[in-house]
Structure 1
Amino acid sequence: MSADPLLYQRHLSSARQATEQCRDLRDHPSYRLSFADDDFLMQDELRHVRLQLEYLKPQLILEQHQIQATVVVFGSARFLSPEQAQLLLQQAQQQLEQRPDDPDAKLQLKTAQRQLKNSRYYQAAEKFAALVTRHSQQQPEQSLMIISGGGPGVMEAANKGASLAGGQSIGLNIVLPHEQKPNPYITPEFCFRFHYFAIRKMHFLQRARALVAFPGGFGTLDELFETLTLLQTGKATTVPVILYDKSFWTRLINFDLLVEEGLIKPEDLELIQFVDTPEQAWQAICQCYKLGQSL
């Protein structure tokens, strides 16, 4: 006896509906694995999980590579290399020659002249990082790895100095409204990206054996004073805090006034050291840890 055609069609239709329903279920957000569901992970209620993940990823990678000691380099993201600054100056001079009465051209020239003057900080950060890196290569048991904020300016110079010296370095990038791109000199496996400033700051200081701050703006000042506060209050192990270019820092911040007004103790100033050359910065670290210097 032949099968009932109507019953057979009903069976096929039911099977197709079941298959489609099953497919729809698999495509529904609720079916996604929780750790692979971006919409789920980005909820406010999952912020603590994101914080933990953001801490753990760099932590585990650095532990796997046995990175135990770093030298943190801070400074302005706006400084250019001497080569870039010289090119900018030449372009500004040409623009002013073509438009000698243009206020914008005059302003561009003034800006370019300032950039060329400040490019010495880029050069100094690059040289300092090279000194640290060469020492680490020659004496692996005293290895110190350069770590920067991963962006341009002094950060780029620090990573560049380590790279040109044949070593590795770390870059801790941060998500900003105007996207920060990692500079090309960071060691790829140590190029990290953060959303939360707090977790990024923890990684800056967790392995830090010294902090060298070149002239910079709000970001540099934020990192500097947060570090000094942690050291002052005993929340972090004391490490050298080295300020590059004493004339800049003492003009920017009246540290003595803080003491005179009783806002800090005189001994708090001992947390800070001023230097004026890359060699002096490296010597300060060597003296603190009794390292064999290789200048």
Structure 2
Amino acid sequence: MRLTEIAFGKPALPGVTKERRRRGASRTRPPEFKTSLMRGIRLPVCFRYGYVRVNWIDQAEIGVLNMRMKLLSSVALAASMALAIGSVAHASTNLITNGSFSSSTYAAGTNDQFGTGFGGQGVTGWTGGSGYQLYEGTSPQTPASSQYGGGERFYDSFNAASPDGGAFVAIDGDADVRGSISQTLNNLEIGKVYTLTFDWAAGQLANRSGATTEQFAVTFGGQTINTAVLNIASGGFSGWQTATMFFTATQATQTLTFLSIGTPNGLPPMAALDGVSLTVPEPATWAMMLVGFGGIGAMIRRRRQTLVAA
């Protein structure tokens, strides 16, 4: 048996609506207040103008509501597991030293050439090659101290900080002075897959003109992966890109190298680099990810069963 409404209080006078039983009573319906008398019974209760209206929900409706609540709980749990998995993976230790390029021996507020050819190895944790590399410790429009004098700066179009923020390095892709930077990593686990992420961009020095192309060739151990090729208009700037690559360690000690490759010679094509990170999921991370994925799968199966039952 299902009761839809029970009213308590004085009956309405003939010809007078319930809303007007009380003198001065508002015509606006007040909000309903939900309460519960026992498990499985949900009662919307409305105290209005001297009487109480109670809507009872029968057992069939209670079963449907319970299945819906279980379904919503399953979806929420699955979403929480996914967020936890992402947080654990993101928390893996970065094996790179000074991946943000925030540390150097150069004077604060300056841009400087570095490497074996000129300027010395002033970028902490990194080795500059024999080509042309610039350490951009301040605004890209500030002229750098280099073997070519003090006029090496980027066009004003290079006006966005990298996602990592702060300092970065700029590496010439001209084949005649092709630049590179590298870092050697120890205690690697042979056979493990390492995840490399970095931010990079392409631009042009302000004392040149003409369209250019630019990309990085990234080598870790004996494996090399190239980024996409960026095509830059004369005096232009590509904006920052984020790249992700996967390398399998074949030795306990390997060198990570970024080689700039650009065209044409003489303009020069410049690649910027920042936010370098190399990580490997730890055993505990893999375990938590497997548990999380298993939980999500169980929730999906349970959801299907619930929908079929409904």
- TM-score interval w.r.t. the shorter chain? under 0.3
TM-score by length of 1: 0.24
Which has the larger share of strand? 2
Larger radius of gyration: 2
Which has the larger share of helix? 1
